Amino acid sequence: MTTTPLSPSTQTQQQPDSLGRFGRFGGKYVPETLMPALAELEAAYEQYRQDPDFLQELDGLLGDYVGRPNPLYFAERLTAHYAKPDGSGPQIYLKREDLNHTGAHKINNALGQVLLAKRMGKGRIIAETGAGQHGVATATVCARFGLECVIYMGVQDMERQALNVFRMRLMGARVQPVAAGTGTLKDATSEAIRDWVTNVETTHYILGSVAGPHPYPMMVRDFHGVIGKETRQQALEKWGGVPDILLACVGGGSNAMGLFYEFVEDAQVRLIGVEAAGEGTETDKHAATLTKGRPGVLHGAMSYLLQDEEGQVIEAHSISAGLDYPGVGPEHSYLKETGRAEYYSVTDGEAIAALQRLAQLEGIIPALETSHAIAYLETLCPQLTGSPRLVINCSGRGDKDVQTVAKYLGSAE
């Protein structure tokens, strides 16, 4: 197994500046108590991202424990579904992050951070979770390394992702319910940060998205960068080129950044992120931060944010707990503002239909989060000419969502 630095040094313009900014986004808007911890984390990350022993351990575990590389799968019947009468149409591939151990991309980052925490001598791990995938990934790596683990989760999310709550507890994690606000990911994240402020000297916070204060957006992106790197390699093997279009769902945006980052400098590759429109972006029940939000500060970073006329953060809404977040990672805000990436949104109903479509055409039940990316094919495919190669990040599997889907379909009948 080869060990390569986590970030190619040629991509300097995509590194945040010394204050952790991507353009005007990012930064460190946190209580003073956390500033030394962020500096310590930054220093540790800078040290170990180039450290051969660290990279070898990470690569070994990504292979034998997570099961990487996962396939770049040609979705033949989905491709046929979107083919035009003349036979042209996008060639659709799925990057199978759903086949990772624990069923989603989240473990790439959880594993990287736990190895870092171990080297930093932190024996206690905390994390926030929405859909429960990041919580499960964190509980998993904590079990693997014998570390104490506390997962903050909104009470509403605990109800709609009950299976994942049970999985975390099975692996010895304590799941701490958060009832504040609407009991979703935003509130769980705030509570995790409060825990970190209190226990900062003994605890590492494994933040689960490309959000939060610097260095998290950069570090989480880099740990997920393996998704894009494998995709490049596999595309080269399969058709001797790069993908024409990359498509991924965006809540905080970790799976999208993981796929996009490798290709940001390949200007011919279209990068498309799909947000959750909930009941519709014209309603007040959505999570389409980049589509409808304005710049603001949440959970330590300047980024697009759903907020009211007083600068108070608005509760997001999505059927998908993992996308139900009023903020977004700062690098996505930067990619949007520079025009490098495009962002659209699809509704709850469109996501459910896409989940059913993929299940029936390919025998793959995607997570509700992932289903948002797949749903955007309905809009995108008719606009495309020729037969571009399109890679969707199949970021997670849908086992955790079957009850939510059953409930939705039951009430829709």
Using CB under 8 A as the binding rule, whether residue 390 contacts other proteins is answered as no
Using CB under 8 A as the binding rule, whether residue 299 contacts other proteins is answered as yes
CB of 198 to other proteins, least distance (A): 4
What are the E-state strand segments in 15-157?
Answer: 21-22, 25-26, 72-74, 91-95, 124-129, 148-154
Residue where the block lists tokens 């790069």: 242
Residue where the block lists tokens 């300097």: 12
For the purposes of burial, counting CB atoms within 10 Å of the CB of 349, is it exposed (0-12), middle (13-18) or buried (19 or more)? Answer: middle
CB of 288 to other proteins, least distance (A): 19
Using CB under 8 A as the binding rule, whether residue 27 contacts other proteins is answered as yes
Using CB under 8 A as the binding rule, whether residue 121 contacts other proteins is answered as no
Kindly report the backbone phi and psi dihedral angles of residue 228, in degrees, each rounded to the nearest multiple of 5, phi listed first: -70, -40
Q: Which span (223-231, 242-250, 270-278, 293-301) binds other proteins, by CB under 8 A?
A: 293-301
Site for other proteins in 31-50 (CB under 8 A): 31-37
**Angle at which helices 133-145 and 107-119 cross, to 10°:** 40
User: Residue 353 and residue 282: Cα distance in Å, rounded?
Assistant: 20
Which residue among 3, 176, 199, 356 contacts other proteins (CB under 8 A)? 199
User: Residue 269 and residue 228: Cα distance in Å, rounded?
Assistant: 12
DSSP class of 32? G
CB of 312 to other proteins, least distance (A): 4
CB of 33 to other proteins, least distance (A): 4
Q: What tokens appear for 126 in the block?
A: 């905390």
User: Residue 359 and residue 370: Cα distance in Å, rounded?
Assistant: 12
Indicate the pairing of strand 124-129 with strand 203-205: parallel
Residue where the block lists tokens 């319910």: 177
Nearer to other proteins, 83 or 197 (CB): 197
Q: What tokens appear for 403 in the block?
A: 């009850």
Nearer to other proteins, 167 or 186 (CB): 186
Using CB under 8 A as the binding rule, whether residue 297 contacts other proteins is answered as yes
Using CB under 8 A as the binding rule, whether residue 126 contacts other proteins is answered as no
Bin 281: left if φ > 0, else alpha if -120 < ψ < 50, else beta: alpha
Show which residues are catalytic. Answer: 106, 128, 395
Instruction: Measure the N-to-C terminal CA separation of the chain; round to a whole number of Å.
Output: 51
Q: Which span (101-109, 185-193, 245-253, 390-398) binds other proteins, by CB under 8 A?
A: 185-193
Using CB under 8 A as the binding rule, whether residue 143 contacts other proteins is answered as no
Angle at CA of residue 312, ends 307 and 316, nearest 5°: 50
89 and 381 in contact (C-beta within 8 Å)?
yes
Using CB under 8 A as the binding rule, whether residue 184 contacts other proteins is answered as no
Using CB under 8 A as the binding rule, whether residue 179 contacts other proteins is answered as no
Nearer to other proteins, 103 or 300 (CB): 300
Using CB under 8 A as the binding rule, whether residue 193 contacts other proteins is answered as yes
Q: How many residues sit close enough to other proteins to count as binding (CB under 8 A)?
A: 37
Using CB under 8 A as the binding rule, whether residue 194 contacts other proteins is answered as yes
Site for other proteins in 310-369 (CB under 8 A): 310-313
Site for other proteins in 204-263 (CB under 8 A): none
Nearer to other proteins, 201 or 399 (CB): 201
- Which residues of this protein are in contact with other proteins, per CB under 8 A? 19, 27-37, 180-181, 186, 190, 193-194, 197-201, 294-300, 302, 305, 307, 310-313
